[in-house]
């Protein structure tokens, strides 16, 4: 479903709005309402973060949300139940660290599929790091979204693009997740470099925190990922988070 959504957006020359939320945050019940609200507000893809005790790629906002979710008893298994309970039509992408997936065992990919998940992104499984486990995911029922960083050399970008599906997630700048006040000046060059070796749609994330930034990014990439800003607002109010997604949608469509 993720692949189809991305190609029909491309055919319609529309930019994808990808929204990240942490499963079980701010609490399990509101988390379901949040996903449903975001889907209704115009998100094209929703990334569902699996809370992990040691999120080394995340800044304070997503760390805090994971901590809250864990304290509320969230696990990978419960994340899948939550995904199923949302019954949304937009594709859901599981955003996880590797260890919870390994602990869940080989059937977890099919279970995820059965829960309505269509893609998987693993923060700490870069291309080439573990061919056996990458093959497990790559041959499984989910689209396997891979990450590219600003530090990634062009020949490696090519390799990454050929090992992924759905879209390629381009990290907009050095650093962990978190809000930033501006878009990196190097971003257009990195997008172009990636574009030259990658046929998949390119979605840009990390640091995109306002409608204005989302529009700027939408002008150069196929999609925009918004995470920390949304998580921070959702902690205060689900309604405000949904309104924020609506504003992102109009900003991107105006790009």
The catalytic residue positions are 47, 58
Q: Which residues, other chains included, contact 60 with Cβ-Cβ below 8 Å and sequence gap of 6+?
A: 178
Minimum CB separation from other proteins for residue 228, in Å? 13
Say what angle helices 76-86 and 28-40 make with each other, to 10 degrees: 40
For other proteins, the closer CB: 3 or 67: 67
Distance CA 144, CA 37 (A): 25
Planar angle of CA 11, 206, 125, nearest 5 degrees: 90
Q: How many CA atoms lie within 13 A of 50 on its CB side?
A: 27
Contact status, residue 204 vs residue 150, Cβ threshold 8 Å: no
What is the CB-side half-sphere exposure of residue 130 using CA atoms within 13 A?
10
Minimum CB–partner distance for residue 118 and other proteins (Å): 22
Please identify, using beta-carbon distances, which residue of 101 and 238 lies nearer to other proteins: 101
Whole-number minimum distance, CB 50 to other proteins, in Å? Answer: 9
What is the nearest approach in angstroms of other proteins to the Cβ of residue 20? 15
Strand positions, DSSP E, the chain:
16-22, 45-49, 92-96, 117-122, 143-148, 168-171, 202-205, 223-226
Q: Rank residues 63 and 115 by Cβ distance to other proteins and give the closer one.
A: 63
- CA-based torsion, 89, 122, 170, 146: positive or negative: negative
Binding site for other proteins (CB under 8 A): 52-59, 63, 67, 70, 75-77, 97-104, 123-131, 146-153, 155-156, 159-160, 171, 174-176
In the complex, minimum distance from the CB of residue 123 to other proteins, in angstroms, rounded to a whole number? 6
Q: Rank residues 52 and 244 by Cβ distance to other proteins and give the closer one.
A: 52
Nearer to other proteins, 122 or 252 (CB): 122
Q: What is the rounded CA–CA span in Å between residue 46 and residue 92?
A: 5
């Amino acid at each position: 479903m993720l692949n189809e959504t991305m190609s029909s957006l491309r055919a319609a020359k529309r930019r994808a709005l990808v929204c990240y939320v942490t499963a079980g945050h701010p609490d399990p019940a509101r988390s379901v309402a949040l996903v449903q609200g975001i889907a209704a507000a115009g998100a094209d893809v929703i990334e569902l973060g699996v809370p992990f005790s040691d999120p080394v790629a995340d800044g304070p906002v997503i760390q805090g949300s994971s901590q809250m979710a864990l304290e509320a008893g969230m696990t990978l298994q419960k994340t899948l139940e939550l995904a199923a309970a949302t019954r949304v039509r937009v594709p859901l992408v599981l955003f996880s660290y590797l260890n919870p997936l390994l602990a869940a065992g080989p059937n977890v990919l099919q279970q995820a599929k059965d829960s309505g998940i269509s893609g998987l992104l693993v923060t700490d499984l870069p291309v080439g790091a573990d061919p056996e486990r990458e093959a497990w995911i790559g041959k499984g029922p989910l689209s396997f979204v891979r990450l590219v960083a600003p530090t990634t050399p062009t020949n490696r970008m090519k390799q990454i693009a050929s090992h992924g599906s759905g879209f390629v997630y381009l990290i907009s700048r050095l650093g962990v997740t978190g809000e930033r006040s501006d878009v990196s000046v190097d971003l257009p060059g990195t997008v172009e470099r990636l574009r030259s070796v990658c046929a998949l749609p390119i979605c840009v994330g990390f640091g995109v925190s306002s409608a204005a930034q989302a529009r700027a990014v939408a002008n150069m990439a196929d999609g925009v990922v918004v995470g920390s800003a949304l998580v921070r607002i959702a902690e205060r109010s689900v309604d405000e988070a949904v309104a924020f997604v609506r504003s992102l949608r109009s900003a991107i469509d105006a790009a």
